[in-house]
């Protein structure tokens, strides 16, 4: 792993992963030949596969799995709480899965969903529902542009 002033704690990171400073990552997994841009946060339990590219300013919260060969654009935000309340004793983690080969455009926001293989999320989209494989969605809320 090539590392430059990153804040990385208790992570499992492939030797050939490239991480550009600064980032905050803890208790996560980053696969072979994956690139992580600067100013990202990757939280506990996140799994990122091999051959992925995560662009700068992206927030990947607990409960997110990104499979192999995925592209995550600049400033993408993942959300794991559909009913955010400060100090909620009944909080339940909601999971998000990004399947192999999916691409997510810059500044997209994803609530807990599954994004299918080779699906594409347009820049700025707000994804509130699952996206089928080989489907392109755009807009707020995201809607199908192309299958």
Marked catalytic residue, from 74, 94, 100, 133: 74
Domain borders along the chain are 2-146
pLDDT at residue 39, as a whole number = 97
> CA 62 to CA 45: how far, in whole Å?
6
Q: What is the pLDDT of residues 50-108, one digit of tens each?
A: 999 999 999 999 999 999 999 999 999 999 988 888 888 888 899 999 999 999 999 99
Topology annotation, domain 2-146: UDP N-Acetylglucosamine Acyltransferase; domain 1 (2.160.10)
Distance of CA 16 to the CA centre of its chain: 20
pLDDT at residue 41, as a whole number = 97
pLDDT at residue 6, as a whole number = 57
Backbone angles phi, psi at 100, to 5 degrees: -45, 135
Question: Would you call 57 a catalytic residue per the annotation?
Answer: no
Q: Which residue has the higher pLDDT, 2 or 139?
A: 139
pLDDT at residue 90, as a whole number = 85
Note whether 36 and 52 are within 8 A (CB).
Answer: no
> CA 64 to CA 98: how far, in whole Å?
8
């Amino acid at each position: 792993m090539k590392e430059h002033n990153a804040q990385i704690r208790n992570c499992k990171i492939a030797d050939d992963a490239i991480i550009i400073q600064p980032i905050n990552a803890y208790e996560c997994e980053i696969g072979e030949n994956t690139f992580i841009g600067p100013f990202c946060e990757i939280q506990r339990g996140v799994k990122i596969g091999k051959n992925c590219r995560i662009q700068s300013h992206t927030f990947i919260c607990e409960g997110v799995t990104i499979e192999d060969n995925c592209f995550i654009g600049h400033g993408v935000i993942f959300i794991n709480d559909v009913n955010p309340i400060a100090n909620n004793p009944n909080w339940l983690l909601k999971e998000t899965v990004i399947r192999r080969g999916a691409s997510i455009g810059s500044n997209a926001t994803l609530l807990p969903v599954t994004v299918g293989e080779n699906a594409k999320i347009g820049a700025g989209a707000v994804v509130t529902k699952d996206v089928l494989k080989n489907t392109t969605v755009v807009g707020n809320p995201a809607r199908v542009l192309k299958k």
